[in-house]
Amino acid sequence: MQAAEKRFVEKLKTYLLFAGPTTLVFITVIILPFLFGIYLTFTNWDGISKAYTFVSFSNYKTVFQDAAFWTSFLRTVKYVFYTVILVNSLGFALAYALTGNRVWGQNLLRTGFFVPNLIGGIILGLVWRFIFSNVLVYLGRTFNIGFLSYSWLANPHKALWTLVIVSVWQYSGYMMIIFIAGLSNIPRELLEAATIDGATGFQRLRTIVLPLMVPAFIVTVFLTIQRGFMVYDVNLALTDGGPFKTTQLISMHVYEKAFLAQQYGVGQSQAFFLFLLVAAISLTQVYFTKKLEVEV
């Protein structure tokens, strides 16, 4: 009994020595604000006044009645769906093309595709805003290309696609790096054995490479889903939710509810609700894709 207690104290000491500072920071900047945020969802605080009253669950009721929240959520789901598919397929294609010394200047190309990820979202949004509203329109009008002659950013049917295009451009390179790491972990002898047995390139890709890449896909799909739901900077700088809020994604809606409409409690409830939804979606995804993993 005493020995066990001593061992526990020893373990605790080691833990505190190595992870103590991090735990402290994690609790103070993540856990406490998170709990305080949940506490605020039960109040009618406007964000600045010192007095507020408890309103129990009425903020959550407002979330369900807020039609704009749900349209914005569905729009975000649509955006996430297309970005996840496009980012991952493009990222994988790039990685597959840029491994195994098939292409000249492989490292240069890898760096080139990765660079967009190093540019901050706000700057990136502004750069692309200029491209969509000036460069493409200029090209469209000069060469008489119908679908480019009008700014996509001003068109409620096309503006969401500008967000998808920019996100794909931004994240494909990042996912490519993860896929390259995954690809270089595939044992060469497996592929060689398959080649000797007469497997074609496509057969090798489908039956050996893809199954062995499932762990990489778990990570990339998780990252793209989570980033897609949480996107704010590109949304702000590229479209600012416009035209007339047709590209307002969920984070921006929550932000405006809390800080612009001065309904902090409602905004916080929407944020918490969003947290639950995204957590549920991400965990389901990880659970199901883990089942696809294979042992070599």
Partner 1 sequence: MRRVKLGLSVLLFTLVLSLFSAAVLAQDVHITVLNSKGEIQAQLEEIAAYYSSITEGVTVEVIAAPVGQSPFERAMALYAAGNAPALLMLDPGDVLLFQDRALALNDEKWVADAIDGSLDLVTAADGRILAFPVTVEGYGFIYNRPVVEKALGGPFDPKTINTRDALRELFEAIEASGKGALVIAPEDWSLGAHFFGLAYATQAPDFAAINEFQESLKRGEVKLAENVPVNGLLDTFDLMKEFNYDRMDPLASTYDRGTQLIAEGEVGLWFQGNWAWPQIKDFDTTGGQFGFLPVPISNNPADLGNTQVPVGVTKYFIMDGEQNSPAQQQAAKDFLNWLVYDPEGQKRLVLDASIMPAFKNITIVPEDPLAASLLEYVREGRTITFVLNLPPDHWAEVGASMQKYLSDFVDRNGFFAEVEAYWRGL
Q: Would you tell me which residues interact with partner 1 (CB under 8 A)?
A: 46-51, 133, 137, 150-151, 153-156, 240, 242-245, 256, 259-262
* CA proximity to 224, closest of 89, 30, 96, 73: 89
From residue 40, alpha-carbon distances to 50, 108, 230, 259, 266 in Å are 13, 50, 21, 14, 9
Specify whether the CB–CB gap between 177 and 87 falls below 8 A: no
User: Measured from the CB atom, is 80 or 137 closer to partner 1?
Assistant: 137
What does residue 184 show for φ and ψ, rounded to 5 degrees? -75, -10
User: Measured from the CB atom, is 1 or 48 closer to partner 1?
Assistant: 48
| Whole-number Å distance between alpha carbons of 226 and 84 | 10
Cβ 51 to partner 1 shortest distance, Å: 7
User: Measured from the CB atom, is 71 or 226 closer to partner 1?
Assistant: 71
The tokens for 266 are 């409602």
Cβ 146 to partner 1 shortest distance, Å: 13
User: Measured from the CB atom, is 215 or 242 closer to partner 1?
Assistant: 242
Specify whether the CB–CB gap between 243 and 156 falls below 8 A: yes
Cβ 49 to partner 1 shortest distance, Å: 6
User: Measured from the CB atom, is 154 or 281 closer to partner 1?
Assistant: 154
| Whole-number Å distance between alpha carbons of 199 and 248 | 48
The tokens for 130 are 């200029």
From residue 46, alpha-carbon distances to 50, 109, 253, 259, 260 in Å are 9, 50, 16, 8, 10
Cβ 139 to partner 1 shortest distance, Å: 15
Q: How many CB atoms lie within 10 A of CB 54?
A: 10
Cβ 149 to partner 1 shortest distance, Å: 8
Strand partners, 43: 54
Specify whether the CB–CB gap between 266 and 257 falls below 8 A: yes
User: Measured from the CB atom, is 151 or 268 closer to partner 1?
Assistant: 151
Cβ 11 to partner 1 shortest distance, Å: 38
Q: Residues for the chain: how many in total?
A: 296
Specify whether the CB–CB gap between 179 and 99 falls below 8 A: no
What does residue 54 show for φ and ψ, rounded to 5 degrees? -80, 135
Cβ 257 to partner 1 shortest distance, Å: 9
User: Measured from the CB atom, is 116 or 243 closer to partner 1?
Assistant: 243
Cβ 67 to partner 1 shortest distance, Å: 9
Cα dihedral 180, 292, 192, 177 in deg (nearest 10): 0
User: Measured from the CB atom, is 233 or 281 closer to partner 1?
Assistant: 233
